[in-house]
Amino acid sequence: MKKITIQPAATELFIGTGLLKSAQLKEYFGGTKVVVVADPAVKDLYGADLAKQLSAELFTLPNSREAKTQDVSNDLINTLFKMKAPKETTLVAIGGGATTDLVGFAASIYMRGIPTVLIPTTLLGAVDASIGGKTAIDTPFGKNLIGTLHHPKAIFTDFDTFQTLPESEWFNGWAEILKMGLIQRTSLWNLGFEKRNDPALIINAIEAKIAVVEQDPKEKGLRRILNFGHTIGHALEAISDYQIPHGQAVAIGCAAEAHLSMQLDYLSKEEFAQIETTYLSFELKLPKNYDRSKLLGAMAHDKKRAAGELRFVLIDKIGHALPFEGAYCRPVEARALEPTLDWMEKRYA
Amino acid sequence: MKKITIQPAATELFIGTGLLKSAQLKEYFGGTKVVVVADPAVKDLYGADLAKQLSAELFTLPNSREAKTQDVSNDLINTLFKMKAPKETTLVAIGGGATTDLVGFAASIYMRGIPTVLIPTTLLGAVDASIGGKTAIDTPFGKNLIGTLHHPKAIFTDFDTFQTLPESEWFNGWAEILKMGLIQRTSLWNLGFEKRNDPALIINAIEAKIAVVEQDPKEKGLRRILNFGHTIGHALEAISDYQIPHGQAVAIGCAAEAHLSMQLDYLSKEEFAQIETTYLSFELKLPKNYDRSKLLGAMAHDKKRAAGELRFVLIDKIGHALPFEGAYCRPVEARALEPTLDWMEKRYA
């Protein structure tokens, strides 16, 4: 087991195998009041056992793709009020990123904030959603548009829980690891998907994200590099009504935003060609109902955007995002996007 | 005009007269995108003018005692989404504590937080609600039970806006100033209600609150002293269904919690007698539907309470709250409360 302390909130991150069944986990909670939150599938796999082990209450989320809504957050909060859960209560979120995002949000506003412990059970949750304190719920206007920064007290990342994941879920995490390779850490670039279950690699990816969020916890500058591939990626997800998996959307987004970086003369043609080849090794496809005007419309709702402008994180070589005077993202006119969209539409039709 | 910078968020606080009409205010906002939020009465008095002056959008809150609800917060947030307000938008809340609390909350969760500027138009708002970054909405389970810590970028406190306040609204602020005198700053104790409009006194009260919240921004210890008088005060408000003004409830609460401090042998009988006399100079009355079991029931929902226990801030002399090993609040058994409730019921029947 490896232990890392994440600043500024001194979040204790435990990574290893067998953590969920360890005496350590039980010890960590001691006698504190705990409520475990899981979706029905994760409840059956781990949540119910965990709640029993910790003598905790168990809250089961609805089994639906719309689980990350204000209604569900309210149901959880109202349940806490009904059980008169005091401000010392710890909410334990076990599951994927949607679960940890939602539970983090509810915890951040219940009585002005109660502690959380996150137990990510997906590669994406482990390397991305659980790190950095972002919480979120979805709104009718878009995903993750309501949220807070609320750092967990601890994170337990147990590799054992990944072993039942389907291939597409592994790829959701893998797309984020490749992104980290492109923007910040070449040792994560292009290792081959067969390495996805290598603990050393996963720990490297987690440490890469930690390095970024510790330098800029409030996303005033550097942290924005993590949005590389996501301006287009999020818009692709949105227009598909979230039928396209996150990993697919982010992978296409990264390839396209690397293309844009080349188009704007920051990235060399040679490096772009290497990136293009890597992403061609995966089966990536635009959403069936893809349409350029829809994509541009969806991008207008992006959180990075300032009044009316589209903004992109760009790279100038593999492993390095452009600082742009400390803003780490750059306005790009819709017209300048056209060659990139031409390329993307041809490549991933 | 006086300018104070409040840490840790470097909130700029401007206090004086004529601020709302000053060129300084307009300059402060420069060209930033602003949305002004006010209730209908404050809109007519100042809000509409202010929005015009800043070329800002104006959002009018519903005119109702239930204005601080999630529904109203959602209406405001959805309006921001509809106008595609970017993350750089500043929300300006002008009004009493309910308005600044609600707008602060909505701003803290919109796109994970956008900046706010608060313009308190009541003495209570100026000396209490606007200082320290607490935001809140009410729930069916109690007031202020959902909220965040979200420090404003700036506060403009213009004495001119207090001049139209009714007497009971002045007393809402005055009760908090007296409380500051009891827990922390003797220069605020017992100055006489006729001083309520003295700028030097108001600034002293604001600085007293700043001194506390700067030392303990996250309410881990010292800041809890600000809850003196509020365990009982909040419960009195709750059982009256908020028909009793906040100042009345807090004044009775302060007197009663001073009595409890004496009962538990922390406060001398002589000092308590002085406190009792001061509060007798005001016309204070328990809610018409007061009932001891209701009061105890309402206290069970208090945020300070740990599992099943009632907790109180206590004083050991006028101008000093008890530290209790850094917790600044102490569990008290319901039984030990009885003599205090006997006294309170007799005194304020």
| Highest mean pLDDT: which range of A184-193, B104-113, B331-340 | B104-113
| A contacts of B82 (beta carbons < 8 Å) | 141
Strands B142-149 and B134-139: antiparallel
Q: Does A188 touch chain B (CB under 8 A)?
A: no
User: Mean pLDDT of all residues in chain B?
Assistant: 94
Say whether pLDDT at A309 is over 90: no
Contacts across the A-B interface (CB distance below 8 Å): 82
Q: Does B331 touch chain A (CB under 8 A)?
A: no
Q: Where are the alpha helices (DSSP H) in chain B?
A: 23-29, 40-42, 48-53, 70-82, 97-109, 123-124, 167-183, 199-215, 230-239, 246-263, 269-280, 292-299, 334-347
Strands A310-312 and A330-332: antiparallel
Say what the pLDDT of residue B307 is.
54
Contact (CB<8Å) B136/A301: no
| A contacts of B303 (beta carbons < 8 Å) | 87, 111-112
Residue A15 CA, chain-centre distance (Å), reads 18
**Length in residues, chain B:** 349
DSSP designation for B349: -
Nearest to A46 by CA among A75, A21, A68: A21
Buried b (16+ CB within 10 A) or exposed e, A200-209: ebbbbbbbbb
Q: How far is A328 from chain B (nearest CA, A)?
A: 16
| A contacts of B33 (beta carbons < 8 Å) | 307
Cα nearest neighbour of A219 on chain B: B112
pTM above the 0.90 mark? yes
Q: What is the pLDDT of residues B173-232, one digit of tens each?
A: 999 999 999 999 999 997 899 999 999 999 999 999 999 999 999 999 999 999 999 999
> Tokens 């204790």 — which residue?
A12
Q: Which of A82, A112, A301 sits opposite B147 (nearest CB)?
A: A112
Q: What is the pLDDT of residues B295-330, one digit of tens each?
A: 998 887 666 665 567 899 999 999 999 999 889 999
Say whether pLDDT at A307 is over 60: no
DSSP designation for B61: P
Say what the pLDDT of residue B31 is.
83
DSSP designation for B42: H
- H-run or E-run covering B158: strand B154-158
Whole-Å CA distances, A208 to A218, A223, A300, A330: 17, 11, 29, 23
Strands A142-146 and A315-317: unpaired
The three-state secondary structure class of B291 is: coil
Q: How far is A303 from chain B (nearest CA, A)?
A: 7
Q: Does B148 touch chain A (CB under 8 A)?
A: yes
| B contacts of A86 (beta carbons < 8 Å) | 305-307
In angstroms, rounded to a whole number, what is the distance separating the alpha carbons of residues B4 and B277? 35
Q: How far is A102 from chain B (nearest CA, A)?
A: 13
In angstroms, rounded to a whole number, what is the distance separating the alpha carbons of residues A173 and A155? 17
| B contacts of A307 (beta carbons < 8 Å) | 33, 86, 88
Say whether pLDDT at A135 is over 80: yes
Radius of gyration of the CA atoms of chain B, in A:
20
Q: Which residues lie closer than 8 Å to A259 by C-beta, 6 or more apart?
A: A272, A276, A339, A340, A343, A344
Contact (CB<8Å) A147/B88: no
| A contacts of B136 (beta carbons < 8 Å) | 112
Cα nearest neighbour of A79 on chain B: B141
Say what the pLDDT of residue B141 is.
87
**Length in residues, chain A:** 349
Say whether pLDDT at A144 is over 70: yes
CB B119 within 8 A of CB B156: yes
CB neighbour class for B164 (10 Å; exposed up to 12, middle 13-18, buried from 19): exposed
Q: What is the pLDDT of residues A168-225, one digit of tens each?
A: 999 999 999 999 999 999 999 978 999 999 999 999 999 999 999 999 999 999 999 9
Contact (CB<8Å) B148/A70: no
Whole-Å CA distances, B258 to B301, B317, B349: 21, 9, 18
Q: How far is A220 from chain B (nearest CA, A)?
A: 11
What is the mean pLDDT of the segment spanning B230-241?
94
Buried b (16+ CB within 10 A) or exposed e, B184-217: bbeebbebeeeebeeeebbbbbbbbbbebbeebb
Q: What is the pLDDT of residues B122-159, one digit of tens each?
A: 999 999 999 999 999 999 888 899 999 999 999 999 99
Contact (CB<8Å) A148/B109: yes
Q: How far is A77 from chain B (nearest CA, A)?
A: 9
CB A172 within 8 A of CB A245: yes
Q: What is the pLDDT of residues B259-281, one digit of tens each?
A: 999 999 999 999 999 999 999 99
The 3 state secondary structure assigned to chain A is CEEEEECCCCEEEEEECCHHHCHHHHHHHCCCCEEEEECHHHHHHHHHHHHHHCCCEEEECCCCCCCCCHHHHHHHHHHHHHCCCCCCCEEEEEECHHHHHHHHHHHHHECCCCCEEEEECCHHHHHHHCCCCECCEEECCEEEEECCECCCCEEEEEHHHHHHCCHHHHHHHHHHHHHHHHHCCHHHCCCCHHHCCCHHHHHHHHHHHHHHHHHCCCCCCHHHHHHCCHHHHHHHHHHCCCCCCHHHHHHHHHHHHHHHHHHCCCCCHHHHHHHHHHHHCCCCCCCCCCCHHHHHHHHCCCCCCCCCCEEECCEEECCEECCCCCCCCEEECHHHHHHHHHHHHHHCC
Both tokens assigned to B42:
């404050």
CA dihedral A117, A121, A124, A128 (to 10 degrees): 10
CB < 8 Å from B in window 85-124 of A: 86-88, 105, 108-113
Say whether pLDDT at A304 is over 70: no
Contact (CB<8Å) A146/B109: yes
For chain A, the maximum distance between any two Cα atoms, rounded to a whole number of angstroms, is 61
Q: Which of A113, A146, A300 sits opposite B77 (nearest CB)?
A: A146
Q: Does B221 touch chain A (CB under 8 A)?
A: no
Task: Lowest mean pLDDT of A44-48, B61-65, B174-178, name the range.
Answer: B61-65
In angstroms, rounded to a whole number, what is the distance separating the alpha carbons of residues B128 and A51? 41
For chain B, percent of residues with pLDDT exceeding 90: 87
CB A318 within 8 A of CB A182: yes
Q: Which residues lie closer than 8 Å to A37 by C-beta, 6 or more apart?
A: A47, A58, A59, A60, A61, A76, A91, A92, A93, A94, A95, A99, A103
Say whether pLDDT at A341 is over 60: yes
Contact (CB<8Å) B74/A74: no
Radius of gyration of the CA atoms of chain A, in A:
20
> Tokens 């915890």 — which residue?
A107
Say whether pLDDT at A65 is over 80: no
Say what the pLDDT of residue A306 is.
53
Cα nearest neighbour of B88 on chain A: A306
Q: How far is B277 from chain A (nearest CA, A)?
A: 35
User: pLDDT band for position A308 (50/70/90)?
Assistant: low
> Tokens 């597409």 — which residue?
A168
Q: Does B296 touch chain A (CB under 8 A)?
A: no
CB B105 within 8 A of CB B139: no
CB B286 within 8 A of CB B236: yes
For chain B, the maximum distance between any two Cα atoms, rounded to a whole number of angstroms, is 61
Say what the pLDDT of residue A64 is.
66
Phi/psi for B336 (5° steps) reads -70, -15
User: Mean pLDDT of all residues in chain A?
Assistant: 94
Say whether pLDDT at A112 is over 60: yes
The three-state secondary structure class of B155 is: strand
Say what the pLDDT of residue B191 is.
86
Cα nearest neighbour of B81 on chain A: A141
Q: Which of A109, A146, A304 sits opposite B146 (nearest CB)?
A: A109
| B contacts of A132 (beta carbons < 8 Å) | none
Nearest to B291 by CA among B231, B254, B236: B236
Say what the pLDDT of residue A303 is.
64
ipTM: 0.93
Q: Does A145 touch chain B (CB under 8 A)?
A: yes
Q: Does B79 touch chain A (CB under 8 A)?
A: no
Q: Does B141 touch chain A (CB under 8 A)?
A: yes
CB A91 within 8 A of CB A129: no
